[in-house]
Structure 1
Amino acid sequence: MLTIGEIVEVLSGKLIADHGEDDVVVESVEFDTRKVVSGSLFVPLKGVRDGHEFVPQAIENGAVATLWEAGNANIQPEGIAIIEVADVLQSLQDLAYYFVQKIEPRVVGVTGSNGKTTTKDMLDSVLSQSFKTYKTQGNYNNDIGLPYTILHMPIDTELLVLEMGMNHKDEIRPLSLIAEPELAAITIIGESHIEYLGSRQGIAEAKMEIVVGLAADGELIIPGNEPLLEPLVEDLAQQVVRFGQQGNEDISATIVESSKHSVTFTVSVFPGETFMIPIVGDYNVNNALIAIQAGRYFELSVDQIKIGLANLNLTQSRAEWVKAWNGAEILNDAYNANPTAMSLVLETFSQIDVNEDGKRIAILADMGELGEQSQEMHESMLEAIDFDAIHHIVLYGEWMGYLADKIVTADTLVPLDYFNKEERSELVARLEEIIAPNDLVLFKGSNSMQLSEIIKEISEK
């Protein structure tokens, strides 16, 4: 992978405790001692605890070298090559930048308020039909996760698919500069992190930071129905491709058929061809359009693109169907949530056929990081609920209490249950009472609400 001497040179570091030759090869880079193995470089990041405290554990697990931040007060241990650097996190990022330059994969970057991970999975599934690919694992998409992903790609990687996430302004900018993508995509501008960015306009500007490192002759793919992005791409030197389902975009889709487990559709740029994605939701066709356009950009055949989409494997908790203890079908979309995402999945869920003696149950939990607009945005979900299609509503969390109040005063006879976050056991007990074997059950909420744990609990009884 990289030698100790190479790392020292790249980071302009100082080898202050040399227990190995410069040509000793580092086999992996880890910041979690539980993942350190023989031949690892340990990266002692500062979090709740100072990572330098865990260097002895890294040595026990087989690390051959560690970074060490200049001036750190911990005692430097024996038995390991210590590379002194000015800033450990910056060094991790600098090492990732160097590794991209060394391996020279073609790079695709994807960001957006919703659908980043699903789109990343689609991109990887399609592009792997022609390239040796590597993608962001899980949600390792921030200032630590992205360089970590890069440093874990196999040396024979031909194409790297990187998810780029953020909570604040100026967080995607350095990620784009590290990765230097030649193709970048923005899935959608929603409300995620509006607490920190103030408005959807602020979110759009933050997402556009992905072009900072975009190759001069590269391409940016954006949603065609997002007016906030148009002034931001007006003077962009790179090619801009717009996608959507209105029919007037550069690449557009028309839905042919939707079911509980798949969507089939046609695409404007491939007349006569039908595509299929094995995932619920017409909104996911927009994510597929990004992957299709990427396939076109990298000159894949239409058959390769179709095969890649048809064989999609999604990251867990993204529109995933699982069985309840009694056979009821659960749509687990519980990884994250914001008003746009919740509205889209509610619309899809309301249209899924249910057995004659079954019912649709929507379990909605708090949406995080909405700041001062949190009450208003939770209340606004009233408009997203089709009371003719949803037969029982269960709300969970402090902010969902505001939606519960709105539903109580609405003209509806749909049963409603509300639980605050401290009433988790009561929520589970109530779900066991109301869920019948032929029901369809939707779980949607922010990851902080731990709905996946509740799903696991009612799936294993």
Structure 2
Amino acid sequence: MKLSFWEIAQAVQAENDWKQWEDFSVTGVEFDSRIIKTGNLFVPLAGNADGHQFINKAQENGAAAAFWSSKEEAPNAFPILKVADTLAAMQKLSVYYLKKLSPSVIGITGSNGKTTTKDMVEAVLSQKFNTYKTQGNYNNDIGLPYTILHMPDETEKLILEMGMDHAGEISFLSTLAQPDVAAITMIGEAHIEYLGSRQGIAAAKMEIVDGLKASGLLLVPNEEPLLQPLISGLSQTVETFGWEAAATYQGAVRESGKEYTDFTVSGFSEDLRIPVPGSYNVTNALIAVGIGRWFGLSEEEIRQGLADLIVTKNRTEWLKAANGADILSDVYNANPTAMKLVLDNFRTMPTNGKRLAVLGDMLELGPESKTMHCSVGEYLKPQEIAEVFLYGEEMQSLYEKLQAAYGEHIYHYEKEQKNNLIQALQAVLEPQDMVVLKGSNGMGLAEVVAALQNES
């Protein structure tokens, strides 16, 4: 971000006499005082601790100015912009900066696949445009404006991931960002505890059209009946992706390997390849295809972009265990639909050894959680996945369901028994095997992945 102090003051309608300071350049915005750099604007936010108490650290690290909403006295002889709410001020500043740079905005939401889709869209659009995307999982009311304020001034296409836990959150993000293009990856069960049903989740995801420009594009899965009544009558262009001929972008898997998937797309003369496995990743790629087409990219540019894809860490990532076994790590988040998609792909992958699965609790599923965990059992068969390790309280019901079929080859561990899980897994995992790990981020399966990689 490159703005002047006076420009920022006007954009956020600062309440104090900011003209007492001569105007100067401000470069960058941070809410973490530890990573402030010279010239940055410090935005103290309320969290586990009040960010205002770290103003001295921010100054030591080179902060040029700061927002201020605390009742405590602001530091003397330091450029302060008094506002009613520092987060609201950062959000307002991001709207100003977005309008000033005026890139095309692409908003992506969905119950699963948001980050991978964001990566694919960025890979495709970067073939022709200067792009910037949400870094990591900065996809909420703090992360989205933070992302906007960090985009380079040459950005032509801004890809924003939009996450949510509750109704109304996507509406806020979409209204703030005013996307030119919006996409919904899928409707699963994530956060059903707060939204009541898949219908409630579909309605919450459709809030992405609240800020979508009238001339914009909405991309939705063709095979999701819950979205059909919600897209009826929209003034924006609506296109679909999926496996059926009715989809605007119809895909078909041609070949899938451990580290790639080849597929066809309706209207394309040749196959496309993505460097990740699974038909579920093809549907993500179809979104990138559609967005690429919307912005005028050629078939070859889209093909090359997908081939060059680099996905964000912990999303469908192949790694190596210390003993040489293959690890398929997908441990950032999980819901029943996503877990089934991963297992459906994994259970047919060729291997010279055996297949193992480590599955952690899927969180925020509400009163039907145990039933939803049990439903994963249809994708677990001893002749396909030889050993199953279940981790967490909610996985107890799945353990009981599969115990007769798996006998001594299925294991269950409570959350405090992570070390036991690691030791048992290391004892049976052989160099020629492959293991998939999937669970909600809160279960900490990334630690199990790290332990397998660093086995002494």
Is the pair's TM-score, using the shorter chain for normalization, greater than 0.5? yes
**Larger displacement relative to structure 2 (13-22 or 397-406):** 13-22
Output aligned runs, 1:10-409, within 5 Å: 10-16=11-17, 20-22=21-23, 24-69=24-69, 72-270=70-268, 272-355=269-352, 358-408=353-403
Asked if residue 434 in structure 1 is aligned to residue 428 in structure 2, the reply is yes
The CA distance in 1 between the partners of 2:424 and 2:408, in whole Å, is 16
Give the unaligned 5+ runs of structure 1: none
For residues 157-206 of structure 1, what are the alpha-carbon distances to aligned partners after superposition, in whole Å with 9 as ceiling and x for unaligned?
01100000000000011111111111110000000000111100110011
The CA distance in 1 between the partners of 2:20 and 2:50, in whole Å, is 23
Deviation at 1:402, TM superposition (A): 1.5
The CA distance in 2 between the partners of 1:15 and 1:123, in whole Å, is 42
Question: Contact 2:6/2:19 (CA < 8 Å) preserved in 1?
Answer: no
For residues 51-95 of structure 1, what are the alpha-carbon distances to aligned partners after superposition, in whole Å with 9 as ceiling and x for unaligned?
1111111111111111111xx232312342110111111111111
Q: Secondary structure at the match of 2:347?
A: helix
Aligned with residue 447 of structure 2, among 445, 448, 453: 453
TM-score by length of 1: 0.97
Question: Contact 1:393/1:414 (CA < 8 Å) preserved in 2?
Answer: no
Q: What amino acid is aligned across from residue 55 of structure 1 in structure 2? A: I
Q: What amino acid is aligned across from residue 6 of structure 1 in structure 2? A: E
Distance verdict in 2 for CA 1:440–1:19, change over 3 Å: farther
Question: Contact 2:359/2:438 (CA < 8 Å) preserved in 1?
Answer: yes
Q: What amino acid is aligned across from residue 105 of structure 1 in structure 2? A: P
For residues 80-127 of structure 1, what are the alpha-carbon distances to aligned partners after superposition, in whole Å with 9 as ceiling and x for unaligned?
211011111111111111111000101111000000000000000000
Q: What amino acid is aligned across from residue 45 of structure 2 in structure 1? A: L
Distance verdict in 2 for CA 1:18–1:342, change over 3 Å: same
Q: Secondary structure at the match of 2:220?
A: strand
Residue aligning to 1:2: 3
Aligned residues: 454
Distance verdict in 2 for CA 1:384–1:359, change over 3 Å: same
Question: Contact 2:9/2:18 (CA < 8 Å) preserved in 1?
Answer: no
The CA distance in 2 between the partners of 1:79 and 1:314, in whole Å, is 45
Question: Contact 1:15/1:81 (CA < 8 Å) preserved in 2?
Answer: no
Aligned with residue 420 of structure 1, among 414, 418, 432: 414
Distance verdict in 2 for CA 1:381–1:414, change over 3 Å: farther
Deviation at 1:17, TM superposition (A): 6.8
- Structure whose residues are more often helix by fraction: 2
Distance verdict in 2 for CA 1:446–1:19, change over 3 Å: farther
Give the unaligned 5+ runs of structure 2: none
For residues 328-357 of structure 1, what are the alpha-carbon distances to aligned partners after superposition, in whole Å with 9 as ceiling and x for unaligned?
0000001100000000000000010011xx
Deviation at 1:424, TM superposition (A): 1.1
The CA distance in 1 between the partners of 2:407 and 2:259, in whole Å, is 30
Question: Contact 1:53/1:74 (CA < 8 Å) preserved in 2?
Answer: no
Deviation at 1:320, TM superposition (A): 0.3
The CA distance in 2 between the partners of 1:411 and 1:193, in whole Å, is 31
Deviation at 1:414, TM superposition (A): 6.8
The CA distance in 2 between the partners of 1:125 and 1:20, in whole Å, is 43
The CA distance in 2 between the partners of 1:14 and 1:27, in whole Å, is 22
The CA distance in 1 between the partners of 2:62 and 2:375, in whole Å, is 53
Question: Contact 2:314/2:329 (CA < 8 Å) preserved in 1?
Answer: yes
The CA distance in 2 between the partners of 1:263 and 1:293, in whole Å, is 18
The CA distance in 1 between the partners of 2:154 and 2:164, in whole Å, is 29
**What is the aligned-residue RMSD (CA, Å)?**
1.2
Question: Contact 2:231/2:238 (CA < 8 Å) preserved in 1?
Answer: yes
The CA distance in 1 between the partners of 2:57 and 2:77, in whole Å, is 12
Deviation at 1:457, TM superposition (A): 1.6
Deviation at 1:388, TM superposition (A): 2.2
The CA distance in 1 between the partners of 2:437 and 2:206, in whole Å, is 31
Q: Secondary structure at the match of 1:254?
A: strand
TM-score by length of 2: 0.98
The CA distance in 1 between the partners of 2:20 and 2:373, in whole Å, is 58
Query: Once superposed, which parts of structure 1, at least 4 consecutive aligned residues long, lie more than 6 Å away?
Result: none
